Amino acid sequence: MTDLIHSFHIPVMGTGHSVDTPIRVAPFGISSVISLVDDLLLEKIRKHYAEKYGLPYHKIAKDDEDGRAKRISAYLNVVHEIVQKKMEEIKQQPFYESNNKQKYFELLPEDSMLKQKYNKLLIINAGDERNDLEKDLTLNMKPGSIDVNIMVNVDRTHYAKNGDPLDEEFTDAKAGLRGYANSCLQSSIIFSAGINQRLYSYMSKFRDFYRDKMGRIKKRIILKVSDFRSALIQGKFLAKKGLEVYEFRIESGLNCGGHAFPSNGILLPKLLKEFKEKRKSLVAEFKPLIQKYYKKMGWEYPESAMNIHPLITVQGGIGNHGEVCRLRKDFGMDLTGWASPFLLVPEVTCVDDSTRELLRQARAENLYLSDVSPLNIPFNNVYGTGSELWTQKKVMEGRPGSLCPKKILLSNTEFTEKPVCLASRQYQTAKLKEIENMKISTDEKERLQKKVVVKNCICDHLGNGALIALGIADEQNAPQSICPGPNIEWFNKFYTLKEMVDHIYGRGPSLVSSKRPHMFAKEIEMYMDDFEKKVLSSSHTKKEIITMLEYKKNLEKGLDYCLEIAKKPPYPGENLKSISICVKKQRSRLNRLNSRFEESIRLAS
């Protein structure tokens, strides 16, 4: 398991865009995340890399017993083996030459002890001291962590050949967890997209999630959270099972890539402030519960772990080093996460050429929060993807929907006994027929029909870009979906790994324009858009009115706090002025929308 080599990490991107990112960046000490949603995709990519690196490969068939868990374990073990192999090759390289060993050290942040020792190495004369320093530096070269992500509520039930449901341990989430737990990795698992208590309880079956006698945890737990209360609830539930949260990974609810999970108007700065003020209480709440569990199990809780605190990190919409400084120095964040900008770094992400070019050219008007996800959760998107064109073509041909080759996002039982996907042809055909028979206006029929056919087969399409990029699939037969955050608007070239890392650490010229609005300003705008959408679609139920009033109250508090931040001295490259301008504009908008909402309530009553 790695210590903190870099002060940033690369979060999960889709099912395929970061699928082999650890192979690409872990040998340079950078941690990244693989999605475990699509085990069939992992199997194809395992075959590719096993052949490329001369490793043994035995196919794990789709219908093998416990196949999902086995495919995940096998893929993660291959990734680990390749990373170790590449790491050792880099270690064997000489100093003072232009090679990957030099690149490893040059990428390190300036405040890293390893970087400072390396800088010293470059200026001292040959001799015993330099030889000892070379050995010390080489010995302390560590790979980045090969982390994994599970969307906890993507948890379909599997069925036996006779149609009977399999035991609960074979659901997607538990099988994914088991696949990771049985792998050889020493890393972290990130739980995102909700809470799944049955899954968390299942973790207690695996000893690797607990401390050993030396105080080490082989497999660490990271929770992606969007509010402090959720962090506290989940952390306490795990602590009662003796499980420790290694990191709370905070993400903006809207200013991010992938699926968006907006809060009820709580802006990121207010959330970060709460975590900063209350982070000590996390340890106070959890530690006694964890120790109690160890005592019950007859285990000794290591004294060395008593003062270890969970890391608090943040991701979503970060765009330059000035913003990193604000997050780390003012809010005490331990690390930052950078995802979407790396979609334009071919060394790092697995994206087909056509889609990467689409992202390079993307501007604000091309990026949008879409309704394409069968999960019925807002999904960050870009116009013109292969997936969008394929979906539209099927509609024009009178054959809307996907044949649902992977059956991952099964949730609807409107027309069937077993759940089907909202993007499937089976569901869409039945739903469109129902709409056609409704006694409603033509305009209303068209509106409802569009809501049905907009759904994309993202479980298949999100992995196709990786298959095309690796030469496994043909672009013509593999529609590609991608889910960048709005921040990618400001990155309009293809970059090297070194260029992007230097940008993150504030070395050299910024890769983004000085006109780029502050990440906090962008988030304010996005939450105001969300509030407006809710105002316009409100049914004025009592519960909805209470929620909307709370949303407005949270926004007002957030705007006030952002204005306080805007009055502080900016860090280099930080566009604080844009926050003041944004707050003034959006506060007026909020007041107008609220007046409209109050008037609509009056008319409805």
Degrees, nearest 5: CA angle 214-218-221: 120
Tokens linked to 540: 């004025």
Handedness of CA 349, 350, 352, 355 (dihedral sign): negative
Cα separation, 355 vs 383, in Å, equals 11
Cβ–Cβ under 8 Å, residues 202 and 177: yes
Q: What is the pLDDT of residue 442?
A: 93
Cα separation, 541 vs 547, in Å, equals 10
Q: Which range (1-5, 96-100, 153-157) has the least confidence?
A: 1-5
Map residue 9 onto helix, strand or coil: strand
User: Could you report the per-residue pLDDT of 543-556, keeping only the tens digit for each?
Assistant: 889 999 999 999 99
DSSP secondary structure code for residue 299 in this structure: P
Q: Is 113 exposed, middle or buried (0-12, 13-18, 19+ CB in 10 A)?
A: exposed
* Spatial CB neighbours of 478, under 8 Å, sequence gap ≥ 6: 386, 464, 467, 468
* Spatial CB neighbours of 580, under 8 Å, sequence gap ≥ 6: 563, 566, 567
Mean pLDDT calculated for residue range 37-50: 97
Q: What is the pLDDT of residue 603?
A: 78
> Dihedral (C-alpha) 507, 320, 247, 332: value to the nearest 10 degrees?
90
| Confidence (pTM) | 0.95
**Which stretches of 370-457 are DSSP H helices?**
386-396, 425-436, 442-453
Mean pLDDT, rounded, of the chain: 94
Q: What is the pLDDT of residue 397?
A: 94
Phi and psi angles of residue 35, each rounded to the nearest 5 degrees, phi first: -75, 140
Tokens linked to 330: 């003012």
Q: Which amino acid is at 363?
A: R
Mean pLDDT calculated for residue range 506-533: 96
User: Could you report the per-residue pLDDT of 426-468, keeping only the tens digit for each?
Assistant: 999 999 999 999 999 999 999 999 999 999 999 999 999 999 9
Share of the chain above pLDDT 90, in %: 85
User: Could you report the per-residue pLDDT of 221-236, keeping only the tens digit for each?
Assistant: 999 998 899 899 999 9
Mean pLDDT calculated for residue range 491-509: 97
User: Could you report the per-residue pLDDT of 314-358, keeping only the tens digit for each?
Assistant: 999 999 999 999 999 999 999 999 999 999 999 999 999 999 999
Tell me the pLDDT band of 2, cut-offs 50, 70 and 90.
very low
Q: How far is CA 566 from the centre of its chain?
A: 28
Degrees, nearest 5: CA angle 130-134-136: 115
Q: What is the pLDDT of residue 88?
A: 98
Q: Is the pLDDT of residue 289 over 60?
A: yes
User: Could you report the per-residue pLDDT of 10-37, keeping only the tens digit for each?
Assistant: 999 999 999 999 999 999 999 999 999 9
Tokens linked to 385: 């993807």
Q: Is the pLDDT of residue 605 over 80?
A: no
Q: What is the pLDDT of residue 412?
A: 92
The domain segmentation of the chain, as residue ranges, is 8-335, 352-481, 513-604
User: Could you report the per-residue pLDDT of 359-377, keeping only the tens digit for each?
Assistant: 999 999 999 999 999 999 9
Q: What is the pLDDT of residue 1?
A: 38
Q: Is the pLDDT of residue 3 over 80?
A: no
User: Could you report the per-residue pLDDT of 165-223, keeping only the tens digit for each?
Assistant: 878 888 999 999 999 999 999 999 999 978 889 999 999 999 999 999 889 999 999 99
Mean pLDDT calculated for residue range 268-281: 94
Tell me the pLDDT band of 4, cut-offs 50, 70 and 90.
confident
Strand ordering across the sheet containing 335-337: 8-9, 335-337, 311-315, 245-251, 219-225, 187-192, 146-151, 32-35
Cβ–Cβ under 8 Å, residues 352 and 475: yes
Q: What secondary structure does DSSP assign to 76-99, as a single string?
A: HHHHHHHHHHHHHHHHHSPSSSSS
Q: What secondary structure does DSSP assign to 281-322, as a single string?
A: HHHHHHHHHHHHHHHHHTPPPPGGGTT---EEEEESS--SHH
Mean pLDDT calculated for residue range 472-486: 94
Tell me the pLDDT band of 307, cut-offs 50, 70 and 90.
confident
